[in-house]
Structure formats: C-alpha cells, structure tokens
Amino acid sequence: MLKVRLIPCLDVKDGRVVKGVQFVDLRDAGDPVEAAIAYDAAGADELCFLDITASHEDRGTLLDVVQRTAEACFMPLTVGGGVRSVEDIRTLLLAGADKVSIMTAAVKNRQFVREAAEKFGDQCIVVAIDAKKTSLPGAPDRWEIFTHGGRTPTGLDAVAYAQEVASLGAGELLVTSMDRDGTHAGYDLALMRAIADSVSIPVIASGGVGNLDHLVAGVREGHASAVLAASIFHFGDYSISEAKAYMADAGLAMRLDPPRSGPHHRAD
C-alpha cells in the first residue's frame, strides 16, 4: 500500500539554512547537508530545498549543497527556487536532485511546463502553486495565484491553473496557501481539497502547519498525497519520527521502517 509522505522543507540562502535548524547534535545547524542527513536518519520520506538566494549568479553554492546531500542521503530530493530554464533543471538534476519545483517561470510561460516534462519526464517536474483566497466572505471560494512571495497577483484562478499545468505534464503539485504560510494555523484545507480533487496527479500540501493534527487534516480533509512542513521540525517542536507515529496512530498509512543506524549517516 502506498504511504502518505511527510516532507520537511529547508529554506536555503547562499548555501546556508535560513531559519536556524534546532537539532541537538548537529555540528553545524546552518549546514543544509547536516540538516538533510538528520532528517534522513529520522525517517523523512523526502526532502525539499527551497533556494531563496537573491542572485541567480550565486547558484554554485546551492549546487554544491545538492551534490553533497545526494552523496549522503539515499532518499528523494526536490529542489526549487529560481528555476527559470531547461538548463537550470538539467543542472539541478545532474547535481543530484530527483525533482525540480518550478513556480514563476511556469506562471509566465505555461509551455515551459510542457517543455520540461517532455525533456526530463513528468515524474521530476513539480509545479509550485502559491495561492491566496480572493473571494469575498459568503461568495463561492476562489483562490488566485500570487508570485514573489505572495506580493504579486497574477489574476490566475488557482484551481484552473492547477488543472492546466497537470495537463501540460506536471508530475506533482506543491500547493502553498499564502494566507496561512507562517501562521501555524494549519493548511487551507478547502484550497488543498479543491485542487487535489480536480487533478489526477499527487498534491503536496504546504503552508501553515503548527501542530501534528494539521498534518493529519492535510491528508484526511485536504486530500493531499503528501504533507510538507518547515518550522515545526526546524525549531524542534516535533521530530519527524514523532510526527509519523502520530499520523499512523490517527489511522493514516505511514512508512515506519526502522531508521538506518550507524556512522554512515554522517556526512563523510
């Protein structure tokens, strides 16, 4: 039986984790590779790096991080942020990413999704959707796509856009509620469900997780195939294994393989 995936996400800037990761026994909590190794050991089902490096010219550090992570973690890795061209995707995949998440470039040019999927296969193209609710209270729900961290409206209906990029060859959708992101109030479940129910590809729910019940609700009520969270893990509120055990107790099918142990988890 296919299991629900729990995906910790790390924001990376100039090769360093932006929000401090508070693990007890990391030699360097700012090193994304160390954090990735710790998440791997704890049983994360996938890892996600979001690169927020300001300058496109400074991508070398990210590629180095991806490469070192792929050498130490034998689990799927998604990398997003600033992906603008087929060449960007190729470089990330060759460095060791398994999937590449694209956002603004897909909003600007939908054919980029098709081009990327045809070139590298649907399975490695994740389209990130940042959406905000724009319908008035009482009116039927409507969410609009925003870019630039939620600052720039696009006028695009999130559900219609999701269907369009799915038909163009996206293998998966990473849906973030910009209303909820950083609030710890839980996913926008109506948004997740509206998109998950309207496409045949998997949806990763993102934005707003504050406790473990939110993860369960993302799957059960949001109909997501995978749930992503950042801060609740980074700041040590909950561990990955605790979260997975909680989700399993709530009746969700989770992968609870015993973690690999021993010195091979260190970045050697």
Partner 1 sequence: MTTAIVDYGSGNLHSAHKAFERAAREAGLAEVITVTSDPEVVLDAERIVLPGVGAFADCRRGLDAVPGMVEALETAVRNRGAPFLGICVGMQLLATRGLEYEITPGLDWIGGDVALIEPGAASLKIPHMGWNTLVATRDHALLKDLRTGPGGLHAYFVHSYALKPRDRSDLVAETDYGGAITAIVARDNIAGTQFHPEKSQELGLSLIANFLRWRP
| Residues contributing to the site for partner 1 (CB under 8 A) | 1-5, 40, 45, 67, 70-71, 74-76, 93-98, 118-124, 171-172, 200-202, 225-226, 255, 257-258, 260, 264
From residue 116, how far is each of 39, 103, 169, 205, 247 by CA, in Å?
29, 13, 8, 23, 34
CB of 212 to partner 1, least distance (A): 19
Amino acid identity of 121?
G
Which residue shows structure tokens 């026994």?
25
130 among known catalytic residues: yes
Phi, psi (degrees; rounded to nearest 5) at 37 = -65, -40
Question: Which one is catalytic: 11, 40, 45, 88?
Answer: 11
Which residue shows structure tokens 């609700």?
217
- In the bound state with partner 1, the residue whose beta carbon lies nearer, of 92 and 178, is 92
* Cβ atoms of 247 and 211 closer than 8 Å: no
- In the bound state with partner 1, the residue whose beta carbon lies nearer, of 1 and 139, is 1
CB of 264 to partner 1, least distance (A): 6
* Number of helical (H) and strand (E) elements in the chain, helices listed first: 10, 11
Which residue shows structure tokens 């142990």?
261
- In the bound state with partner 1, the residue whose beta carbon lies nearer, of 19 and 260, is 260
Question: Which one is catalytic: 45, 88, 130, 188?
Answer: 130
Helix (H, G, I), strand (E, B) or coil at 158: helix
* Cβ atoms of 178 and 152 closer than 8 Å: no
- In the bound state with partner 1, the residue whose beta carbon lies nearer, of 2 and 54, is 2
CB of 1 to partner 1, least distance (A): 6
CA–CA distance, 63 with 52 (Å, rounded to integer): 13
CB of 87 to partner 1, least distance (A): 15
Active-site residue list: 11, 130
